[in-house]
Structure 1
Amino acid sequence: MGRGAAARKYDLLTALGAHALSQDRTEQVLALRLMTLITARYNWGRDELAVGVREIARLWSVDERTVKREMAKLRARGWVELTRAGARGRVAEYALGIERLMQDTRPGWERVGPDFACRLDAGEADDKVVPLPIRGEVPPPDLSGGSEWALAQALLHAEEPGLYASWLRALTRDSRAGGRLVLAAPSRFHAAYVQTHLSARLLAACRDVDGGVSEVTVIAAG
């Protein structure tokens, strides 16, 4: 999972749990076993699950034959991927099949809530970001208006022009009430993505140019 793993792991477990609760007992047991294994032994930062058959059997309260059969099912579905086979004195290592897990659990996202579904959709888009042009190819923002948002955009452009070009250039100043600054995005998806993933960065930039800003909210234009 790499960067952002800590923020996303609960969404993945929620998606898997919601999926399981809509299925029959066999599917529920398989999902529960994977969720327990993920929670107990998965290294989110390195995308690594290194655990032996005997340890899994003890965790699941089953015999080793059952472990081998269930792990084979998980691999066949693409929910886990073998990255290094076990050998004498070394346990097998696995990675999570994040993309396949997302595909298979997608029908249950709306049952958790529209905000949850939108957040996971935004997360999938984030995982597929295409590299953007270098600094010299991204034009700076227009500062003629002199608003706190125009100045904050200039800071964001200077720090990370690719991110600015992809997500922040299209944001416009909608309104300001006290410390609350409202920005408008060109679509609902765009607004949800920025609010979920970039709100802290927006607030920091705005506060750098105007200490009176205490909150930044992103809405869909229109």
Structure 2
Amino acid sequence: MQVIRPVGREAAAKKYDILSAMMAHALAGDQHRQRLILRLMALITTRYNWQRNELATGQREIARLWCVDERTVKRDMARLRGLGWVQVKRAGARGRVSVLGLDLERIMLDTRPEWSHIGEDFVARVGQGPQPAESTVVPFRRPDPVPGDGVWPAICDRLAAEDPALCDAWFRALREAGIAEGRLTLIAPSRFHATYVRTHLLGRLKIAARRHDGSIADVVIDTL
């Protein structure tokens, strides 16, 4: 999948594409999804710094914009962080609010099933083009199927649905070593493989694991 970067000469059009994808995703869901995404879109259009990927607005100001109380703001921002759409870049300190960022790749992955509702021209424009480096890597041989025990096969299926080539290249070779105290440990076939997944793909892996099993708080990549 092409990762949209809202920079350069076509930045304005790319911003509209991201917002359009969010809109289509919201409209295809229930009232709770619609309300949550509408609130995030309100923050993006009024307070989000696209160039720096920063959102620095206090809960009181957000509550006023959303016409809700601060308790609702805390709840919905926690939901957005749980989805992986919003991330904490710098935690708030005394007298300063937290600085948040958006994971645009995660947003586009989650909204992709609804792109066709916008139109085939949108799918062609957003879904094609130069691929990120990690999804162009082709393994020397196709990995063996993931064993059927534990939670990892189901998590791997989620990752394959998002990006089959990326899953074949980097995720299917991982093996589950067990879960302890909310931490899922996966074994990589080599040190290089483990380092690459930790550096480039761990965020996507953690989100898939948490969405499959909410008790998984962390994922560790190790080697034999």
| TM-score, scaled relative to structure 2 | 0.54
Give the 5 Å matches for 1:80-159. 80-122=86-128, 125=130, 128=132
Counterpart residue type for residue 91 of structure 2: A
Unaligned 5+ segments in structure 1 are 131-222
Q: 1:34 aligns with which of 16, 35, 40?
A: 40
The 8 Å contact of residues 6 and 14 in structure 2, kept in 1 or not, is answered as no
* RMSD, aligned CA: 1.6
Matched, 1:3 2:4: no
Distance (Å, rounded) in 2 between the aligned partners of 1:2 and 1:84? 22
Shift of 1:31: 0.6
Distance (Å, rounded) in 1 between the aligned partners of 2:22 and 2:107? 8
Matched, 1:67 2:73: yes
Counterpart residue type for residue 97 of structure 1: D
Partner of 1:52: 58
Matched, 1:14 2:20: yes
Q: Structure 1 residues 2, 13: closer, same or farther in 2, change over 3 A?
A: closer
Distance (Å, rounded) in 2 between the aligned partners of 1:119 and 1:2? 14
Aligned residue pair count: 128
- 1:89 match: secondary structure: coil
Distance (Å, rounded) in 1 between the aligned partners of 2:96 and 2:12? 28
Distance (Å, rounded) in 1 between the aligned partners of 2:106 and 2:28? 18
The 8 Å contact of residues 83 and 95 in structure 1, kept in 2 or not, is answered as yes
Shift of 1:6: 2.6
Q: Which of structure 1's runs of 4+ aligned residues deviate more than 6 A? A: none
Counterpart residue type for residue 14 of structure 2: R
Larger of the two Rg values belongs to structure = 1
Counterpart residue type for residue 37 of structure 2: A
Counterpart residue type for residue 15 of structure 2: K
Deviations 1:83-134 (A, max 9, x none): 01111111111111111101110011011011101111136x35x258xxxx
| TM-score, scaled relative to structure 1 | 0.55
Partner of 1:76: 82
Unaligned 5+ segments in structure 2 are 135-224
Identity of aligned residues (%): 59
Counterpart residue type for residue 88 of structure 1: R
